[in-house]
Chains A and B, each alone.
Chain A
Amino acid sequence: MSTEAILSGSPAPRQSLSITTGRDRARRTKQWLAFMMLRGAILVVAAALVVIVGFLLVNGISSLSLSFLTEAPRNNMTEGGIWPCILGTLLLSLGAMAVALPLGVASAIYLHEYALPGRLMRVIRLGVNNLAGVPSVVFGLFGLGLFVTAMGLGVSLAAGWLTLGALCLPVIIGTTEEALRSVPATYREASLALGGTKWQTIWRVVLPSALPGILTGSILGISRAAGETAAIMFTAAVFYTPKMPNSIFSDVMALPYHIYVLATAGTEIEKTRPIQYGTALVLIALVLGMNLFAIILRAWLQRRGHR
């Protein structure tokens, strides 16, 4: 049996030359039991996803209708649709990406293509990693302190974009760097050998081959921004607003905040359950849909890359 087969998880290497003793059998039984436990762990993880998504699907599907998706809430948010929330979430996440994408991609290009390993590089990387670990509620307070108050943007789309943009920055940097890493060094060398400058090489050779990976990263960034609640609750989202957003200084309603408000703070929590289920279903459909798309895109790209 080849090592390939052993490492990829086929049954344990059989000691075919030796006589199978009781001790060998015990070892193999132990392994079988341990691997069963690992399979059990996978099942628990998969079950968690299936149960959560399935539960929302079963309970939320009946609330979905064209009018639910296209109308504004009515009657103190106990009736009507969630269109302002959908629009708000789309605006917030797309705008956040418009902030984070240029910054994130440029930072990643510097880190991967230009920077030489050294102290500055180490500090920048530590900074990026730490930024990724800052809790979103802290981003929310930072947005409140800087954008809403100090810069005077108020609770607005603009403040939300900047806050969510900062939140998505490490995601974009991470995925872009990964995409740059996957571009073979020979591509760069070929371009440089033809007399291309560093920038020409990056712009004409590296970026086009890394583009699909960057695209995958931005989809993941959008989906993260769309599901984010704590970062927008002080900076952009409001409980209820009768008017649709008409400028970057408008406050907006958003899907995640709508779920939170209806489920915890409304006066009629039980009565609005169907709306809550429906909103949650729309949100996960949006988020998981984008993720699934990114995953499929990545798998397709990897297959293409191997050819």
Chain B
Amino acid sequence: MRRSTKEILIKRAFLATAVTSLAVLALIMIFLFMEGLPTFSFVSVKDFLFGFDWYPTDEANPAYGILPLIAASGSVTALSSLLAIPLGVMTAVYLAEIASPRVRAVVKPVVEMLASLPSVVIGFFGMVVMAPFLQDFFDIPIGLNLSNAALMLAFMSVPTIASVSEDAIYAVPRDLKEASFALGATHLETLLRVTLPAALSGIGTAVILGMSRAIGETMVVLMVAGGAAVIPKSLWSPVRPMPASIAAEMAEAPFRGHHYHALFATAMVLFLVTLLFNILADYFSHKHQQSGAASL
């Protein structure tokens, strides 16, 4: 075989594998929609998304409204972001700007290890340690609730937020900081007025990715959130976010029955939300890329 023909074939083969990951994404979508869309033959899109009642197993009068599940996912994610964003960004700032190389060499692996803890272990910790603690400390009836889940989720999104923001802070051109120092600003002033604003789009990407991880996380909310499919009334309400509902009910849902399709439709909603988050993150990181001092 001629050398150039071989080269072209090899290139084509690599292109084919690269397209595979796109194909996987496409297949995920196809299968979710194939199994999810039949839902709308027995419940309208409006009733599905905005229905207050989720009683899929009620024989006489099943109801397939996932508003309580959406509200649960939203509130758990929002509350966990409230904790994870400051903690993650502060960790990133410390790692990129303050830590000495020796401290950095210890702290960075710690953050990575936290990221690698299996979610089922964090969920287990939330069940056996955090739940009884919250119950005693705040004198509430159930320790498995919205706050507990948000707390556990926060520790899962901190590493994502920290590592992506750190890259962004690290990438801020050095002459910007030097100019600020030359004007007599302290390190903190430089950080707040120059470095962080310049890294803002990267930090935005980090926050979106962290939230996307929190909203899709399953085992933690399955084990810790309490599981009641009602609109949360307080921080101590037991809730049932979308992933928890899917994971808990899939095993019992009769194959290709109404309940089964409704769960796939819930996964469709979840998939679309995370897809939106990821496209948003991608948009932020491309459109507002900080390339040198000129674009400030």
Contact with B along A28-69 (1 / 0, CB 8 A): 101100110111011011101100100110000000000000
CB contacts under 8 Å to A, within B1-19, are 3, 6-7, 10-11, 13-15, 17-19
Distance between A7 CB and nearest chain B CB, rounded to angstroms = 7
> Per-residue 0/1 for B13-38: is the Cβ within 8 Å of any A Cβ (1 yes, 0 no)?
11101111110110110011011000
A283 in contact with B27 (CB, 8 Å): no
Does B246 interact with chain A (Cβ within 8 Å)?
A: yes
Contacts of A220 in B (CB 8 A): 116
Complex-state Cα separation, A122 to B266, whole angstroms:
29
- A135-B271, A166-B24 given as contacts; is B90 within 8 A of A37 (CB)? yes
Cα–Cα distance between A170 and B255 once the two chains are bound (Å): 30
Q: Does B121 contact A (CB under 8 A)?
A: yes
> What is the bound-complex CA distance between A289 and B90, given in angstroms?
27
B127 and A263 contacting across the interface, CB-CB below 8 Å: yes
Q: Using Cβ atoms and an 8 Å threshold, which residues of chain A touch B186? A: 12-13, 27-28, 31
Closest to B271 in A: A138
Interface residue ranges of A84-107 to B (CB < 8 Å)? 102-103, 106-107
CA distance in complex: A81, B142 (Å): 32
Q: How large is the interface on A (under 10, 10 to 19, 20 to 34, 35 or more residues)?
A: 35 or more
Categorize the interface residue count of chain B. 35 or more
Given contact pairs A52-B125, A146-B31, A8 touches B100 in the complex (Cβ within 8 A): yes
Chain B, range 212-267, C-beta contacts under 8 Å to A: 212-213, 215-219, 222-223, 243, 246-247, 250-251, 255, 263-264, 267
A134-B34 contact in complex given A8-B101, A229-B120, C-beta closer than 8 Å: no
Asked if B187 CB lies within 8 Å of chain A CBs, one says: yes
B interface residues (Cβ-Cβ under 8 A, vs A): 3, 6-7, 10-11, 13-15, 17-22, 24-25, 27-28, 31-32, 34-35, 86-87, 90-91, 93-94, 97-101, 105, 107, 109-114, 116-125, 127-129, 155, 158, 162, 174, 177-178, 181, 184, 186-189, 209, 212-213, 215-219, 222-223, 243, 246-247, 250-251, 255, 263-264, 267, 270-271, 274-275, 277-279, 281-282
CB distance from B152 to the nearest CB of A (A): 10
The A/B interface has a contact count, at CB < 8 Å, of 279
Given A142-B32, A287-B117; A229-B218 close (CB under 8 Å): yes
Q: A135–B107 contact, CB under 8 A?
A: no
Q: Which residues of B contact A217 (CB under 8 A)?
A: none
In the complex, how many angstroms separate the beta carbon of A66 from the nearest chain B beta carbon?
23
